[in-house]
Chains A and B, each alone.
Chain A
């Protein structure tokens, strides 16, 4: 067995490497995950990454990974036939000075879970930042989705903390969902180890 290379923080200058378009290279990543022409329910997920004092992180970056609107992943490990609405499904957004981020995408479909279960629509999220020594892994689920009740991963989360994983409709903006990622505090987000 080979031994793993340890993780280290991205540091404060993460944009130089992870959003290279700002520095003159072709940009190959974007918070715009789905083109407007793609079939599906188009949504914009907005939120902030907050520290233990509720201050937004200006030097964080989130990455999102999701299935398409019919629940297919654009990856060889998903052996089901691809759909007409297939897309790459990966988003990357550095936080603004106030810690805010957004992802423009389509709501994913349900995807298979372990032991014949079905997972509710969700987006896998990585959080990278100065002061974050190892990638933090959380998920975004959709408040009010009936499939949440039978989701095998949500079932592993203490009931009083599940709310931290739910993106909720913004009452003032159609098709906008809001979720903050709290690294600490009363509403500390649930982070996973898989």
Chain B
């Protein structure tokens, strides 16, 4: 049975065990993955689209009575597959901390203020060209207890389905030039330097709105078709 989806690109992902990120040590499977063919169960997947998400959910700055504190930004880009084809009508879920580096979550104990005007969660569905855009505020860096003086570089979490079970992706988008990159075990869990750079957005003057918000561009590439052509006979 010929693969419908490429396996070659899987090497971009970090290994399950990345000991500098301590939480992986007891949570990474130790046995090799069992390699299986891509069956109908993997070639199908959940379909969520425009009918599931309100148009206002893409603006994280307008979920409360007032504007949140922080630097307003517009993040946009295309969701593509490895063949460069647009992935239309696919759900993108995002979440992040506020400008001070604090998550509105019961387990976040960082002594930085919550912002009553910022939740930090949103959803958007890509259009027919695979384009998405959301408005938010730039998240802050924050400390975590992985090692002495550990700080996460500013990042936004993104979760995508794509067209099948095999295209599922959860990633983090980072900001250009962050001085914390060399010290972050999660960013560096991706062992290939070029692959790490694909998690960093780019400042985008075209998206930047005068007197309003800075723009950033971030294209997301999901697993795509197997390059091997099918048998012709």
Contacts and interface: CB of A to CB of B under 8 A. Distances in A.
B66 interface: no
Interface in B181-207: 186, 189-190, 194-196, 198-199
A24 B57 CA distance: 11
A94 to B, nearest CB: 12
Nearest to A88: B46
Interface residues of B, number: 85
Nearest to B120: A16
A18 interface: yes
Interface string B3-20: 000010110111110100
A131 B9 contact: no
A77 B16 contact: no
For the residues of A in contact with B, the DSSP-based class is loop
B39 A113 contact: yes
Interface in A102-131: 111-115, 119, 122, 124, 126, 128-131
B114 interface: no
B123 A194 contact: no
A156 B198 CA distance: 35
Contact of A4 (B12, B23, B26, B95): B12
B147 to A, nearest CB: 14
Nearest to A113: B39
B138 to A, nearest CB: 17
Nearest to B42: A194
B148 interface: no
Contacts of A10: 157, 159, 170
A26 B40 contact: no
Contact of B1 (A11, A114, A192): A114
Contact of B9 (A3, A55, A73, A115): A3
B170 A114 contact: no
Interface in A19-75: 20, 23-26, 28, 51-53, 55, 57, 59, 63, 65, 67, 73-75
Give me the 10 closest cross-chain CB pairs, A-B, nearest first. Answer: A131-B23, A17-B95, A75-B44, A90-B46, A193-B33, A131-B27, A73-B44, A52-B26, A114-B1, A4-B9
Interface of B: 1, 7, 9-10, 12-16, 18, 21-31, 33-48, 52-54, 57, 63, 80-84, 93-95, 97, 103-105, 107-108, 119-121, 123, 157, 159, 164-166, 168-172, 186, 189-190, 194-196, 198-199, 219-224, 227
